[in-house]
Amino acid sequence: MAIRIYKPTTNGRRNASVNLHVEVTKSTPEKSLLRPLNRKGGRNHQGIVTVHGRGGGHKRRYRVIDFARRKDDVAATVIGIEYDPNRTCHIALIEYADGVRRYMLCPKGMTDGMTVQSSADAVDPVVGNCMPLKHIPTGLDVHNIEMEPGKGGKLCRSAGSSARLTNKEGRWATLVLPSGEIRQVSLECRATVGEIGNSDHQLVKIGKAGRNRWRGRKPKVRGVAMDHATHPLGGGEGRSKGGREPASASGTKSKGGRTRARGKWTDSRIIRRRKSKRYGQLRL
């Protein structure tokens, strides 16, 4: 069992559970692939808070992940699987035949000693191998999918996620994403075969507020508890939302509002959206 539930010895432990990370086989990271990671506390380069509720947390270092997988036709051996504090999934340290070491996202079923390969041509469609979508058989689950050839994987990179390759037509491949969205990407885009591991991540219960502070998440004050000058939902003689939809302090709708930038060229390749276009106009 990958999730452990302790005895309720304290109030914080009563509702908490932890991930045992049974897939992890390597405890210390590769020093050559570490980079400093500065904490910004939700502030932009001008010092203005743009994301509320961020600050503190445990010190972390960034692991350089090879999302592009462009070292072609060189076999690599999995040295170990590590925990990455910067993402929900685990990462695998691989070593190529020429001695180069890199990190990759760890798919489900990967173990130490396995051999993986990336290529611009067809290779065996086994877990961990990376190739263009035109060489991957339809019906397989893929992850770390490029949206533009050569730009590196952008889709399906979190724990337990994968997309189903359902069709190839012309120069486009059709993918069913975890959100339910159906979209097309170029057949020249690369993807890695398999499903991302550590799917038990979503079953973990934080249990106490202090554990969120370790993650750099600070408590938030409800908008209706503020005054009208601070938040759109604040003010009034009693508890009232003012008859408007839930929104952030800047007025951005928090339930159903459209946040995607207009004019993105990828919108034209969406066959079925995860939400209706009218969803953002509905009063919730």
Annotated domain spans of the chain: 7-49+57-201, 220-284
pLDDT for position 83: 97
Q: What are the backbone angles phi and psi of residue 169, rounded to the nearest 5°? A: -145, 125
Distance CA 284, CA 68 (A): 41
Q: Which residues have a Cβ under 8 Å from the Cβ of 104 and sit 6 or more positions away?
A: 65, 66, 69, 91, 92, 94, 116, 128, 192
Tell me which residues of the chain have a pLDDT lower than 50.
Answer: 279-284
Distance CA 105, CA 84 (A): 10
In words, the CATH class of domain 220-284 is few secondary structures
Q: Where are the beta strands (DSSP E) in 67-122?
A: 76-82, 91-96, 101-105, 115-116
pLDDT for position 156: 97
Q: Which two tokens stand for residue 2?
A: 């990958």
Residue 13 CA: distances (Å) to CA of 1, 4, 139, 201, 205: 18, 11, 43, 18, 10
| Element housing 213 (H / E) | helix 209-214
Distance CA 36, CA 249 (A): 32
Distance CA 200, CA 81 (A): 16
Q: What are the backbone angles phi and psi of residue 77, rounded to the nearest 5°? A: -105, 140
Q: Which residues pair with 192 in a beta bridge?
A: 130, 143
Distance CA 60, CA 215 (A): 10
Give per-residue pLDDT as tens, 47-106: 999 888 999 999 999 999 999 999 999 999 999 999 999 999 999 999 999 999 999 999
Q: What CATH architecture applies to the domain 7-49+57-201?
A: Beta Barrel (2.40)
pLDDT for position 165: 97
Give per-residue pLDDT as tens, 187-200: 999 999 999 999 99
Distance CA 142, CA 131 (A): 10
pLDDT for position 284: 37
Q: What is the pTM of this model?
A: 0.89
* Averaged pLDDT score across all residues of the chain: 91
Quick one: how far is CA 259 from the chain centroid?
18
pLDDT for position 144: 98
